[in-house]
Structure 1
Amino acid sequence: MSTLWIVVMLNLIFADILGIYIEFIHKNTLDGIIGEVTITMAIAAVLTNIPILMIYFSRILRYKVNRSVNIGAAILTIIYVVGGGSLLPHYLVCAAIEVIALLFIIWTAWKWINTRPI
């Protein structure tokens, strides 16, 4: 149950951050660009939910599926972090930590041995 609350909380925080960002863009850009920004932010919301949902899925999925899903989700998240990033110092630090953690997830899942009875 606590894992589901983590998922809920992270989504609440993320939705607020996106809302603030969209509000800022709306006040500081031309109205013709807003449709593009909204679609881009919707895609970002979907991609950001991959690691959020992995908090839950990594706890409930069976071994073989869990292993594959963790590797796939980590690869997609690395692409999202690097591809959607910026060169601002705070982002570079955060992105570096995220990529290292994601590489560790891939390595751990790859080396994972099923110790539970089937």
Structure 2
Amino acid sequence: MDPIDTRLKLSALWMFVLLNMIFRDIHQFALKSHLEMLLTGTYNGIEITEGLMLLGGFLIEVPIAMVVLPLFLSRKISRPATLLAALITATTLLSSLPGDMDDLFFLLIELAAILVIIWSAWTWPKVGRRNG
């Protein structure tokens, strides 16, 4: 099997993480308790404010941006950006520990993919046409 270009691998892995994050959130809409909390403007005891929504927008933009950035940035810039984005995303995911088994399932998959992202960025070869 031919090795996968590191840029494409990182982009695909970020897409995988992002899709799992999105589906995890959409999946919650099947729960009556989730919808009731959203309608009250308070979620798990935290008031949903414009500032909190803006922060959430910034935090979800990290993996969204990382789907395309490895494809356009040089290795020199993309490698540390990927490592920083992985740290931010993992911290964001861990900040809302799962309340049920399906959330834990998605969290474990997302964190495993982020570990592969970190490993791929960390071991990204300096030279080579396929990985540069």
Indicate if the aligned counterparts of 2:98 and 2:107 stay in contact, CA closer than 8 A: no
Give the gaps of 5 or more residues in structure 1.
none
- Aligned position for 1:108: 120
Report the Cα distance in structure 2 between the residues aligned to 1:56 and 1:29, rounded to whole angstroms.
33
Question: How far has the Cα of 1:86 moved from its partner?
Answer: 2.3
- Aligned position for 2:48: 37
Report the Cα distance in structure 1 between the residues aligned to 2:111 and 2:99, rounded to whole angstroms.
15
Where do residues 2-13 of structure 1 align in structure 2 (5 Å cutoff)? none
Could you list the per-position Cα deviations for residues 74-98 of structure 1 after superposition, in whole angstroms to 9, with x for gaps in the alignment?
A: 0110000011232211111111000
More RCO (CA 8 Å, sep 6+): 2
Q: Structure 1 residue aligned with 2:71, among 50, 59, 67?
A: 59
Report the Cα distance in structure 1 between the residues aligned to 2:76 and 2:58, rounded to whole angstroms.
24
Question: How far has the Cα of 1:41 moved from its partner?
Answer: 2.4
Task: Return the structure number with greater helix share.
Answer: 1
Number of paired residues? 100
- RMSD (Å) for aligned C-alpha atoms: 3.1
Percent identity of equivalent pairs: 30
TM-score (norm 1): 0.69
TM-score (norm 2): 0.62
